[in-house]
């Protein structure tokens, strides 16, 4: 919780947020308070999430547009942690605190357990692909009213992150970022390959319950190419523990085969766009590398953080030159 949020946050804010959704304050259990402030509570045998987002992080209109999109996905039968209406029948509420405010949303909690190594297999990867394909298919018909703020267009937010947090001394990485963007931007922005996507699909944003996955954490949703949204889970899958120089190409092929098998049950796009996968993966690596300068004090990293930081630095500087077309193109 940063200093702006800490100054505005209070028991009274949480109490008012709970009241707006007819939730007992005493039922709330704090889960985390690093970016958003997240509480969990239970009603009967069901669990729910109360999320508070400070205006210094995202304005009300931005949060409201996220919630409108999530509700659209839910209404189209996509398994997401969906928003629930308040006592005033609003999906997003505002609680004022001094000169700032918190946007408040109540979600159904995604059921089950986090995806880990024990339940990380071709079935769960295929389900990730299936859900991603469902989202991309629905994106083709998504048309919010003018009262709903338009989601940002990638790479606006990513570009801001790179420009702000990449060290000036990283001239090579900064130049790569500009060059790669110029290549990717040549992709056609037509409705069959471009639209609002999750933009942060990876194992950590799914819960698994009896073999079924539910997606959550949609606040990075934006307009981008579908192939870019597919590059995200592949990027993170190649950086999990156990993936190394000896098995990374085989793992990339295994992941893409499983993921695209599920994806193509619901959506298809020009497979030629997959040829830009190395560039898209490199861009994602540079973005994550830049984000670490925002999230961490890179002069005071523990052993695990230092290892991850060095890995992202290596990717930012070298990309994925080891990746071959047969590792990610469709058979």
pLDDT of 242: 77
Which CATH number is associated with domain 113-327?
A: 3.90.1200.10
What span, in angstroms and rounded, lies between the C-alpha atoms of 284 and 315? 9
Instruction: Summarize the confidence of residues 195-218 as an average pLDDT.
Output: 96
pLDDT of 1: 84
pLDDT of 135: 98
Instruction: Summarize the confidence of residues 194-218 as an average pLDDT.
Output: 96
CB 298 within 8 A of CB 309: yes
| Residue 260 Cα distances to 19, 51, 130, 133, 253, angstroms | 44, 33, 8, 9, 11
Percent of the chain surpassing pLDDT 70:
100
Longest distance between any two alpha carbons in the chain, whole Å: 58
The strand pairing partners of 212, in sequence order, are: 209
CB 197 within 8 A of CB 222: yes
CB 51 within 8 A of CB 105: yes
What span, in angstroms and rounded, lies between the C-alpha atoms of 18 and 6? 19
Helix spans in 199-247 (H): 226-237
CB 232 within 8 A of CB 224: no
For residue 44, is pLDDT > 80? Answer: yes
Task: Express each pLDDT in 108-155 by its tens digit.
Answer: 999 999 988 788 899 999 999 999 999 999 999 999 999 999 999 998
What span, in angstroms and rounded, lies between the C-alpha atoms of 66 and 64? 5
pLDDT of 75: 98
pLDDT of 16: 98
SS (H, E, C) 285-329: HHHHHHHHHHHCCCCCCCHHHHHHHHHHHHHHHHCCCCCCHHHCC
Average pLDDT of the chain, as a whole number: 95
Task: Express each pLDDT in 277-324 by its tens digit.
Answer: 999 999 999 999 999 999 999 999 999 999 999 999 999 999 998 999
101 φ/ψ angles, rounded to the nearest 5 degrees: -160, 170
CA angle, 146 then 60 then 190, to 5°: 40
CB 70 within 8 A of CB 205: no
What span, in angstroms and rounded, lies between the C-alpha atoms of 273 and 187? 8
Q: What kind of fold does domain 3-108 have according to CATH? A: Phosphorylase Kinase; domain 1 (3.30.200)
Confidence band (pLDDT; 50, 70, 90) for 243? confident
Task: Express each pLDDT in 148-200 by its tens digit.
Answer: 999 999 988 899 999 999 999 999 999 999 999 999 999 999 999 999 999 99
Min mean pLDDT across 7-16, 68-77, 112-121, 159-168 is at 112-121
Q: Please identify which residue in the block is written with the tokens 């394909």.
A: 133
What are the extents of the domains in the chain? 3-108, 113-327
For residue 241, is pLDDT > 80? Answer: no
CB 47 within 8 A of CB 109: yes
Using alpha carbons, select from 307, 284, 115, 295 the residue that is nearest to residue 200: 284
Min mean pLDDT across 63-67, 244-248, 252-256 is at 244-248
What letter does residue 90 receive in the DSSP assignment?
Answer: -
């Amino acid at each position: 919780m940063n200093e702006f949020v800490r100054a505005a946050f209070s028991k009274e804010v949480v109490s008012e947020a709970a009241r707006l959704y007819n939730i007992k304050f005493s039922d709330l259990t704090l889960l985390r308070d690093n970016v958003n402030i997240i509480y969990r509570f239970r009603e009967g045998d069901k669990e729910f999430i109360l999320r508070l987002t400070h205006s210094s992080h995202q304005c009300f209109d931005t949060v409201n547009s996220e919630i409108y999109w999530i509700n659209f996905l839910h209404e189209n039968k996509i398994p997401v942690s969906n928003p629930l209406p308040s006592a005033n029948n609003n999906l997003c509420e505002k609680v004022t605190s001094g000169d700032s405010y918190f946007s408040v949303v109540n979600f159904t909690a995604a059921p089950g357990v986090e995806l880990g190594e024990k339940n990380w297999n071709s079935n769960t990867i295929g389900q990730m692909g299936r859900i991603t394909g469902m989202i991309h298919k629905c994106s083709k018909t998504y048309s919010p009213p003018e009262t709903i703020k338009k989601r940002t267009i990638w790479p606006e937010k990513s570009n801001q992150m790179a420009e702000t947090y990449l060290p000036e001394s990283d001239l090579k990485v900064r130049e790569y970022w500009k060059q790669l963007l110029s290549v990717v931007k040549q992709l056609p922005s037509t409705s069959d390959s471009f639209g609002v996507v999750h933009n942060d699909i990876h194992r950590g944003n799914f819960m698994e319950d009896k073999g079924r996955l539910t997606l959550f954490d949609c606040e990075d949703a934006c307009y981008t190419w579908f192939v870019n949204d597919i590059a995200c889970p592949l990027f993170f899958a190649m950086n999990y523990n156990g993936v190394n120089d000896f098995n990374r190409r085989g793992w990339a092929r295994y992941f893409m085969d499983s993921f695209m098998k599920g994806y193509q049950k619901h959506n298809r796009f020009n497979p030629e766009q997959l040829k830009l996968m190395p560039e898209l993966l490199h861009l994602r690596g540079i973005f994550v590398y830049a984000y670490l300068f925002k999230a961490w004090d890179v002069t005071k990293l523990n052993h695990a953080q230092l290892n991850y930081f060095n890995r992202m630095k290596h990717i930012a500087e070298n990309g994925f030159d080891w990746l071959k077309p047969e590792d990610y193109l469709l058979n």
